[in-house]
Amino acid sequence: MNRPLVFLGPSLNREDAQKILDAEYRDPAKKGDFLKLATFSEGKRIIGFVDGVFLHDYPPSPIEVYQLLVMPNIMLVGSSSLGALRAVELEKYGMAGVGKIFELYRKKILFADDEVAVTFVQGENILQSEAMIDIRFNLFLAKRLGIIDEYCRKMVTKVGKNLYFPYRNYDDIITISQKEYPPLSEQLEKFKLHLTNNRDSLKARDTIKLLKYLKILAEH
77/81 Cα distance (integer angstroms):
12
pLDDT computed for residue 23 by the predictor: 96
Helix/strand/coil (H, E, C) string of the chain?
A: CCCCEEECCCCCCHHHHHHHCCCEEECCECCCHHHHHCCCCCCCEEEEECCECCCCCCCCCHHHHHHHHCCCCEEEEEECCHHHHHHHHHHHHCCEEECHHHHHHHCCCCCCHHHCCCCEECCCCEECCCCHHHHHHHHHHHHHCCCCCHHHHHHHHHHHHHCCHHHCCHHHHHHHHHHHCHHHHHHHHHHHHHHHHHCCCHHHHHHHHHHHHHHHHHCC
Q: How long is the chain?
A: 220
Tell me if 49 sits within 8 A of 83, measured CB to CB: yes
pLDDT computed for residue 126 by the predictor: 79
The average pLDDT across 156-179 equals 97
Q: At 91, is the pLDDT very low, low, confident or very high (cuts 50, 70, 90)?
A: very high
Per the model's pLDDT, the better-predicted residue between 160 and 40 turns out to be 160
pLDDT computed for residue 61 by the predictor: 93
Q: Does 42 score more than 70 pLDDT?
A: no
Residue 169's nearest CA partner among 102, 119, 113 is 119
Q: Does 44 score more than 60 pLDDT?
A: yes
59/77 Cα distance (integer angstroms):
17
Lowest mean pLDDT among 60-74, 117-131, 198-212: 117-131
Q: Kindly report the number of other CB atoms within 10 A of residue 149's CB atom.
A: 12
For the entire predicted model, the pTM comes to 0.93
What's the mean pLDDT when you consider all of the chain?
Answer: 93
Exposed (0-12), middle (13-18) or buried (19+): which is 67, by Cβ within 10 Å? middle
Q: For 114-156, write each residue's pLDDT tens digit.
A: 999 998 887 777 789 999 999 999 999 999 999 999 999 999 9
The CA distances from residue 59 to 114, 128, 143, in Å, are 13, 18, 35
The average pLDDT across 157-161 equals 98
Residue 17's nearest CA partner among 218, 212, 220, 216 is 212
Tell me what percent of the residues of the chain surpass a pLDDT of 90. 81
Tell me what percent of the residues of the chain surpass a pLDDT of 70. 97
Q: Does 82 score more than 90 pLDDT?
A: yes
202/115 Cα distance (integer angstroms):
12
141/125 Cα distance (integer angstroms):
26
Q: For 97-120, write each residue's pLDDT tens digit.
A: 999 999 999 999 999 999 999 988
The average pLDDT across 28-38 equals 90
